[in-house]
Structures are given as structure tokens and as C-alpha cells.
Amino acid sequence: MLTKEENLWLRGLDEGINDRRLIENLSWEYEKNQKNQLYQSAMNLIIRSNKNEFKEAKNNMCEAIRELFKTEIEEAVGEAVTRATGKARCDMLNALEDIHNNVPLIKVQEKYILTKEEVSRLEKLAMY
């Protein structure tokens, strides 16, 4: 028979985890092994099958537990910002090129989801 410690990840797979300590223990164990693909997969499955419980626990978690996920969240946000700014630059250059190539302004506005003011500014820039 498995001990509580050995059975931690299996107990986490139960739907409706109602033990805050279990959630905290899972979080701590995950922190120690977060680079391991198996731990990532298990934690993803556990959180998905217990979304409500993790949401409730989130409100009650101590600062240390929140810190556990801080790095991952900051990395994800940083990557998203980098991708978004890169896409925005690319879209802006493509919009300028379209305007330079006499693509109708309304089409540029729709294609790049721009306001009339933004299209007008780009039109002025494209003239240079």
C-alpha cells in the first residue's frame, strides 16, 4: 500500500479535491520538479480536473505558494509581449507597404484592424 507521500499525485487526480493541504503539497512537489515533463503533465491534468478547487485554494494560498507560479507566469507574459510587439511591428510595416502600393485605405484599415486616425497617420508616413 502506498503512503500518503507516495500517493500524493494519484490523490491529486481525484475530482473535487477539498483538502487545501493536498493542493499545497502538490504545488510544493511540483515546484521541486517543474522542469520534469511527467510532473508538468500530471499537474496539468490535476489542475484541469479540479479547476474550481484550485481557484478557491488560490484565494487562500499563502504568499509562498503564489511565488511558486510567479516565475512561470512572468516568463509566459514576457514571451507573449515579445510575440505581440513583434507581430505589431510586422503588421505596421506591412500596412505601410500596402499603403505605398496603393492598396485601398479601407482594406488596410480592415486587414490590420486600425482606426481611421491610425490609417491616416500611416498614409502620411508612407508618402516619405
Q: pLDDT tens digits, the chain, 128 residues: what are they? A: 556 666 776 777 666 676 777 777 887 888 888 888 888 888 888 888 877 777 776 666 666 666 777 888 888 899 999 999 999 999 999 999 999 999 999 999 999 999 999 999 999 998 87
In a domain, 41, yes or no: yes
Domains of the chain: total: 2
How many CB atoms are located within 10 Å of the residue 22 CB? 19
In a domain, 73, yes or no: no
| 27 and 56 fall within a common domain | yes
In a domain, 68, yes or no: no
In a domain, 75, yes or no: no
Specify the pLDDT at position 6. Answer: 61
| 50 and 90 fall within a common domain | no
Structural domain of 17: 1-61
Which CB contacts under 8 angstroms, 24+ apart, belong to 125-128? 125/96, 126/96, 126/99, 126/100
| 54 and 95 fall within a common domain | no
| 48 and 91 fall within a common domain | no
In a domain, 113, yes or no: yes
Q: Is the pTM of this model over 0.75?
A: no
| 53 and 90 fall within a common domain | no
